[in-house]
Structure 1
Amino acid sequence: MTFDTDRPAKQRPLAAIGLRLITAILLALMFAMVKLASTRGVNLVETLFYRQLGSAVCATALVAGGAGFASLRTKRVGAHVLRMGLGMTSMALNFLAMIMLPLADATAIGFSVPIFSTLLAALTLGEATGRWRWGAVLAGFVGVLLIIQPGRSVVPLGGSVAVAGALLTASVTIMIRRLGATERAATTVFWFAISSLVPMGLLMLWFAEPHDNGTWAVLLAMALTGGLAQLTLTASLRLAPVALVMPMDYTSLLWATLLGVWLFAELPTHSTWLGAPVIIGSGLVILWREHRRARRSASEVGMAEAE
């Protein structure tokens, strides 16, 4: 079995949807393990290091079973380093949000990434953004405000961390788009995982702690679920368009809620039940407009070729 993510694959929508649903479960489990590890005394540096170690193993398997290590040559070392810095910072903020907030609340705020991505793409890449997508962006911000409720006397720090994490994650998506102009998908994934182990490995000299077998089992589960999610996510995008598979991501809110109740006896706040549907609806509108634009562009290309 090979994992060549750059060779065109036969489109299999049902398989892609299934893989994306599995991805949502795996990511929900990974974040639950992050939160569970923190309750067992694991610090954030350790969590990030072991998460990336699992990702590095899976990324190496992805390259070895696909285009091969010769495909990893790149002339954009600086861009990959910047992507690593942004990626690790956003991951740290997202992990902190999961630790500080109920899982469902942090997951719901994380759904605002497509909203921030649309805004940043318009500002930095000059992408055309019509009234539908601007309306979706504004509605999405309203959903975020409903969850974090900034009008209260004290805004929960976890909510601010979650919003900052979503904004930085959106910045990473813009960076990946730019890298995608010249780099293979597997190349970007591999260098992010491998390069991040350098600074995290150095930090581990000061932050590494001994743990009991139960805690090591939690960390192993976190690394495996995170690494496998990267593979299933990548595979789903090979088998079907983004607009078809991405709505499946919203099922992670269900799993986050169930895991929060089961592992931590926590329920989503009332504000999350109000804000989450607004954020999800906004994201679906953005995906719909992206799908419409992609179909229109493909149609225009086809007409040009016919002429």
Structure 2
Amino acid sequence: MTEQNTRLGIWLMILTTFVFAIQDGISRHVSGEYNVYMVVMIRYWFFAAFVMAVAARKAGGLRGAVRTTQPVLQIFRGVLLVAEIWVMISAFVLLGLTESHAVFTVYPLLIAALSGPILGERVGWKRWSAIGVGFVGVVIILQPTGGVFSPLAAVPLLAALMFALYGLLTRYVARRDSAATSFFWTGVSGAITATAVGAFFWEPMSGPDWGWMIVLCFTGTAGHFTLIKVYEVAEASAVQPFAYLQLVFAATIGMTLFDETLRPNVVIGAAIIVAAGLFTLWREQLAQKKT
């Protein structure tokens, strides 16, 4: 891996986080007017088409992408990701982009915590300490008002847990399936699930909002395309820290377009979570170098 490729990968990751932040802002707007199930269904139609187009260009084509010895796990991954998107977009509407993303940044720590029981990886005391510190950050973000936590605070935390499980299962199936196969099953099984639920919640959409819906679909596709390119030109360990910029971009959109406020406890808590996440990433890199 050359320095030039790593630099390109970093810039592509920054672009990816920016595109996904825009996608989240549009999702917040559209889902504030229409039900989340219909919005996700339409979005997944475009995503599934993109997935099949990518698979068709790979060696072996669609037939090669379909082949898997783990169909149940692959389908479950796709269903889980759809459910996580339902939950996270609901969090955007209920809590706003800023606080939802601040809590969601805990998912790498959840991956580290669950990698032991699910993947059989060793989690040492230093990682556990970082995980504990990260959850202190979550508690700071969810600072109770009047001494009582809002039940809405659990929504983005649930989304983070679901996404962490999805990430771990993706690692697990990668032991026997190619990335193209996992990507294909994610899109297709997800689209079927989203349609099976979303079809029951169809409601008329205005012309301008259809415009936003189309932009949402294109940003989702563009984000996944640039993310694929990121990992083609650079090592994941080199670019992963820059994924946290999505929190910055999402918070900026939330404050400028949705009049959200950035409370001091959210800033402090998010900084603690990000620092703990970067520490676990650093420990993972050290472990990989020793093997």
**Structure 2 letter corresponding to 1:61:** A
Scaled by the length of structure 1, the TM-score of the pair is 0.89
Q: Deviation string for 1:149-173 (max 9, x for gaps)?
A: 2585332233200111101111111
Q: Deviation string for 1:180-218 (max 9, x for gaps)?
A: 011111211111111122232233332111111111111
Q: CA deviation at 1:224?
A: 1.3
Question: Unaligned stretches of 5+ in structure 2?
Answer: none
Which of 76, 83, 89 is residue 83 of structure 2 equivalent to? 89
1:120 aligns with 114
1:26 aligns with 19
2:241 aligns with 247
1:43 aligns with 35
CA contact (8 A) 2:103 2:156 kept: yes
Alignment of 1:253-268 (within 5 A): 253-268=247-262
Aligned length: 289
Q: CA deviation at 1:238?
A: 2.3
Q: CA deviation at 1:11?
A: 8.0
**Structure 2 letter corresponding to 1:33:** I
CA contact (8 A) 1:96 1:158 kept: no
Q: Deviation string for 1:224-254 (max 9, x for gaps)?
A: 1112211211221222222210111111122
CA contact (8 A) 2:255 2:262 kept: no
Scaled by the length of structure 2, the TM-score of the pair is 0.93
CA contact (8 A) 1:10 1:239 kept: no
Counterpart secondary structure, 2:112: helix
d(CA) in 2 for partners of 1:54 and 1:254?
A: 27
- Asked if 1:98 corresponds to 2:88, the answer is no
CA contact (8 A) 2:31 2:89 kept: no
CA contact (8 A) 1:63 1:69 kept: yes
d(CA) in 1 for partners of 2:276 and 2:131?
A: 7
Summarize the Cα distance change of 1:243–1:48 in structure 2 as closer, same or farther, 3 Å threshold.
same
Summarize the Cα distance change of 1:134–1:11 in structure 2 as closer, same or farther, 3 Å threshold.
farther
- Asked if 1:80 corresponds to 2:74, the answer is yes
Which of 211, 217, 240 is residue 211 of structure 2 equivalent to? 217
Alignment of 1:1-307 (within 5 A): 12-39=5-32, 41-67=33-59, 68-72=61-65, 73-149=67-143, 152-297=146-291
CA contact (8 A) 2:40 2:86 kept: yes
CA RMSD of the aligned region, Å? 1.9
Counterpart secondary structure, 2:205: coil
Question: Unaligned stretches of 5+ in structure 1?
Answer: 1-7, 298-307
Percent of aligned pairs with the same residue?
27
CA contact (8 A) 2:173 2:182 kept: yes
CA contact (8 A) 2:102 2:266 kept: yes
Counterpart secondary structure, 1:12: helix
**Structure 2 letter corresponding to 1:236:** V
Q: Deviation string for 1:80-118 (max 9, x for gaps)?
A: 121122222222111111121121111111111110000
Deviates more, 1:260-269 or 1:170-179: 260-269
CA contact (8 A) 2:38 2:199 kept: no
d(CA) in 2 for partners of 1:94 and 1:111?
A: 12
CA contact (8 A) 2:21 2:250 kept: yes
Q: CA deviation at 1:62?
A: 1.5
d(CA) in 1 for partners of 2:145 and 2:109?
A: 22
d(CA) in 1 for partners of 2:36 and 2:49?
A: 20
Q: CA deviation at 1:147?
A: 0.7
